[in-house]
Amino acid sequence: MNIILLGPPGAGKGTQARRLVDDRNMVQLSTGDMLRAAQSSGTEMGKRVADVMARGELVTDEIVIGLIEEQIETVDAAGFIFDGFPRTLAQADALGELLEKEGETLDAVIEMKVDDEALVARVTGRSTCANCGEVYHDETKPQPADGTCAKCGASEFKRRPDDNEDSFRTRLLAYYRDTSPLIGYYYAKGQHVAVDGMADIEAVSAEIKEVLDRA
């Protein structure tokens, strides 16, 4: 089973993707994580995209389609969760072709609906465990007082350079301009389902589970 988690920055796609990985043995394919990994390891491509990402703009279709192609062709998985990909119509077309080539189907496109006002607060207070990726938030889920991650015990946390208000506005604009047309695209293909991304994490997981059980 292959699914897309679709939604604006801060909708909770990464959080829900990680839960599906734990619960269903699926593999999370986050182009954002792949691009950040390329930056940390200092590859040429990582250096090329660093500024674009810090500003909150989209990197080229060619780069992200290449990253996804490599994963789909080489990783053997019970299913893929596409997180933050596709973000443009060209990427959506390319994904359809890649899956078809592998004899795979796209089983659901789950849009996580969240109020715009909630997003900026979610993103600007966000930090993650550098080891396991557990997400914390300064107001709603502060890092444990003993300075260690509640999930894995590691003691290093990080904040994304694009989780600031200026970059967030650019990311939100990119979402509405380039990514939100995918809602109509997948609706027309009969693959779109919306869930309430404003509900708490457990409730969103439960709603996603229902969608997947029906798919």
Structural tokens at position 4: 């897309």
> Closer to ligand AMP at the Cβ: 64 or 149?
64
Structural tokens at position 12: 């909770």
Whole-number Å distance between alpha carbons of 17 and 82: 8
Report the nearest approach of ligand AMP to the CB of residue 127 (Å): 14
- Whether 87 is a known active-site residue: answer yes
User: Is position 53 an interface residue for ligand AMP (rule: CB under 6 A)?
Assistant: yes
Catalytic residue among 18, 19, 36, 171: 171
Going from the C-alpha of 28 to that of each of 95, 167, 170, the distances in angstroms are 15, 24, 25
Whole-number Å distance between alpha carbons of 186 and 109: 7
Positions 58 through 97 that interact with ligand AMP (CB under 6 A)? 58-59, 64, 84-85, 87, 91
- Whether 13 is a known active-site residue: answer yes
Please identify which residue in 18, 122, 126, 171 interacts with ligand AMP, judged by CB under 6 A: 171
With left for phi above 0 and alpha for psi between -120 and 50, is residue 198 left, alpha or beta? alpha
Structural tokens at position 194: 């919306």
User: Is position 172 an interface residue for ligand AMP (rule: CB under 6 A)?
Assistant: no
Stretch that binds ligand AMP, among 16-24, 51-59, 92-100, 145-153 (CB under 6 A): 51-59
> Closer to ligand AMP at the Cβ: 48 or 155?
48
CA–CA–CA angle 195, 199, 200 (5° rounding): 125
Indicate the SS3 state at residue 203: helix
- Whether 48 is a known active-site residue: answer no
Q: Which positions are catalytic? A: 13, 87, 126, 160, 171
Tell me which residues touch ligand AMP (CB under 6 A).
Answer: 9, 31-32, 35, 52-53, 56-59, 64, 84-85, 87, 91, 162, 171
